[in-house]
Amino acid sequence: MLTKSQARAFFVIGTGLFTIIFLGLTVDTLKQIPHLTKQQNMSAEVIKGKHLFDQYNCMGCHTILGEGAYYAPELTKVYQRRGAVFIDMMLQDPEALFPGERRMPKYPFTKEERQSMVAFFEWIGNVDTNGFPKDPPLGKQFIINPTKFDTEAEANVLEPAHTIKKPEIFDTLCLACHAVAGKGGAIGPALDGTSKTRDPKWLREWLTDPQKIKPGTTMPKLPMSDNDLNALVEYLSVL
């Protein structure tokens, strides 16, 4: 049993010690913040994007750095997951990207405002969040049947295009609507075996302007560079 004075000493020393540790850790965290957030990249444009994000209450539906509402996807890594073009299109007209599906409102953003928001997402995507969120969550609708390849041979059958590198733009721009090897969205048809039914010339024309080939189609005309177009046609032509 502790005497009364021993108990008091125990309390005072314990409390004091842990207060010091707590303050030390707080100071240490505060010192790391500029480094972790890559403060030097926080340009005026990024700050403007952040203000727009608050002004339009995007957190009413989305979380960012884990904070906000759980109705819509986590946005911390959206830049890495989707890229600038997709985000820009989402901010112009979500309905055009996902006809009849999406519940994200259309906002009256100007081009500059959209650019600021994309800059904000790029900046926040590069903040060192100690691994949060774990894997970029693609959203349930984007992973329909994740295929696990057991053998190299199996992977070759399912992904014959593995010798031709999959263009990065495919994951950011196309995967939201199309699946390959069981992974991706279901708004458009799965693209496995496209090479058997479509030739490169058709693919090129289709990707340049789907409306021209099939008026009324729901596949949007997507902005992409000549390099991206070439890479996609090459990739699809062996798929």
Q: How many residues bind ligand HEC (CB under 6 A)?
A: 48
CA distance 165 to 185: 20
60 makes contact with ligand HEC (CB under 6 A): yes
8 Å CB contact between 63 and 69: yes
Q: Which is nearer to ligand HEC, 34 or 189 (CB)?
A: 189
103-132 residues near ligand HEC, rule: CB under 6 A: 103-105, 107, 117
198 makes contact with ligand HEC (CB under 6 A): yes
How many of the other CB atoms lie within 10 Å of CB of 65? 13
Min separation Cβ 33 and ligand HEC, Å: 24
234: Cβ contacts below 8 Å, ≥ 6 apart: 164, 200
174 makes contact with ligand HEC (CB under 6 A): yes
Q: Which is nearer to ligand HEC, 35 or 214 (CB)?
A: 214
SS3 55: helix
Pick from 186, 67, 216, 176: nearest CA to 132:
67
Q: Which two tokens stand for residue 168?
A: 């990065």
β-pair type (63-64, 179-180): unpaired
Span of 24-32, 65-73, 144-152, 157-165 interacting with ligand HEC by CB under 6 A: 65-73
175-194 residues near ligand HEC, rule: CB under 6 A: 176-178, 187-189, 191, 194
> Residues 203-232 vs ligand HEC: string with x where CB under 6 A?
x--xx------x--xxxx-x---------x
CA distance 136 to 85: 18
C-alpha distances in Å from residue 40, one per residue of 37, 45, 87, 121: 8, 13, 23, 15
Q: Which is nearer to ligand HEC, 15 or 95 (CB)?
A: 95
Report the interface residues with ligand HEC, using CB under 6 A: 53, 56, 58, 60-62, 71-73, 75, 78, 81-82, 87, 90-91, 97-98, 102-105, 107, 117, 139, 173-174, 176-178, 187-189, 191, 194, 197-198, 203, 206-207, 214, 217-220, 222, 232, 236
